[in-house]
């Protein structure tokens, strides 16, 4: 982590929850966007390959180790940046978060916001949401579109520079820090006719970690204060929402068809 990045961490995190847990970092290695673009270009020209991906995606876990074939990028990010970021977040939380991430529960996702969509004129690339995990690192290809909601001002969105590498916190960080860190609600807006690529590393606690603060927090629900559910259960609750939103899962009979992920989670965490 560069000296400049350390200064940014100090500036952003020193006041705890009063400031949204989002900052920019200078990664030690750049995301391989030319290779990512070639991958998506190949898929666009090969319907059989796309069908194979779609058939296996619902099984989940099939491609969990795919990113390890690019050790220059994936290993550098997970081995170098993740421990340093966890150490910085631990200082804010007043709690050592490193043992809660011993199994390195990470996921790496490549995203192609292609202009060839069912609604080419739509500006909606990815709806407003908050990530479930501890933190996410978003690598961008230089194309703008990522926006962050202004803390304390719902519905007010601030664009993020397209060449910035963004670090933001999720719901697990809020709970495990006892509310000392805030989760960053964000979205992606499309520019019709413009393609955008991103690569995102999601970092979460080990699946058996209890979703509870180290000490009781009055604004948290009893369910959270007593640690009545773990990260595995929480991920499944969140996952059903995003799989439905992506079109990879259907809701069952009697299930809520209004997908308001953050509203549901807020009702679970806060009193």
Print the domain residue range for 42: 3-210
Whether residue 220 is predicted with pLDDT greater than 70 in this model: the reply is yes
Q: Residue 239: inside a domain, yes or no?
A: no
Kindly report the CATH number assigned to the domain that includes residue 115.
2.60.120
Whether residue 256 is predicted with pLDDT greater than 60 in this model: the reply is no
Domains contained in the chain, number: 1
User: How would you classify the pairing of strands 105-113 and 196-204?
Assistant: antiparallel
Q: Residue 73: inside a domain, yes or no?
A: yes
Query: Tokens for 260?
Result: 């308001």
- The model's pLDDT over 178-196, given as tens digits with 9 standing for 90+, comes to 999 999 899 999 888 899 9
Q: Residue 179: inside a domain, yes or no?
A: yes
- The model's pLDDT over 125-181, given as tens digits with 9 standing for 90+, comes to 888 889 999 999 999 999 999 999 988 888 899 999 999 999 999 999 999 999 999
Q: Residue 226: inside a domain, yes or no?
A: no
Q: Indicate the pLDDT class of residue 80, thresholds 50, 70 and 90.
A: confident
224 or 182, greater pLDDT:
224
- How many of the other CB atoms lie within 10 Å of CB of 223? 13
**pLDDT score recorded for residue 67:** 52
| Euclidean distance between CA atoms 181 and 242, whole angstroms | 23
239-256 in b/e burial notation, b at 16+ Cβ within 10 A? ebbbebeeeeeeeeeeee
Q: Residue 248: inside a domain, yes or no?
A: no
**pLDDT score recorded for residue 12:** 43
Q: Residue 189: inside a domain, yes or no?
A: yes
């Amino acid at each position: 982590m560069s000296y400049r990045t350390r200064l940014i961490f100090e500036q952003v995190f020193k006041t705890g929850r009063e400031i949204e847990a989002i900052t920019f970092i200078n990664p030690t290695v750049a995301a391989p966007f030319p290779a990512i673009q070639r991958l998506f270009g190949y898929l666009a020209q090969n319907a059989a390959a796309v069908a194979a991906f779609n058939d296996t995606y619902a099984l989940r876990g099939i491609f969990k180790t795919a990113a390890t074939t690019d050790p220059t990028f994936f290993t550098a990010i997970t081995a170098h940046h993740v421990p340093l970021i966890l150490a910085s977040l631990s200082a804010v939380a007043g709690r050592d978060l490193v043992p809660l991430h011993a199994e390195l529960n990470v996921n790496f996702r490549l995203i192609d916001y292609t202009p060839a969509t069912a609604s080419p004129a739509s500006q909606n690339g990815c709806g407003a949401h908050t990530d479930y995990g501890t933190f996410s690192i978003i690598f961008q290809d230089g194309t703008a579109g990522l926006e962050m909601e202004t803390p304390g001002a719902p519905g007010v969105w601030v664009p993020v520079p397209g060449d910035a590498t963004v670090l933001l916190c999720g719901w697990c960080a809020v709970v495990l820090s006892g509310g000392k860190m805030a989760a960053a609600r964000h979205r992606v807006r499309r520019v019709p006719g413009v393609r955008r690529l991103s690569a995102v590393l999601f970092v979460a606690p080990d699946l058996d970690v209890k979703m509870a603060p180290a000490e009781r927090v009055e604004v948290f629900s009893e369910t959270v204060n007593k640690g009545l559910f773990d990260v595995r259960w929480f991920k499944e609750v969140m996952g059903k929402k995003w799989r439905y939103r992506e079109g990879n899962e259907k809701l069952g009979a009697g299930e809520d068809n209004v997908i308001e992920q953050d509203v549901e989670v807020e009702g679970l965490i806060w009193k």
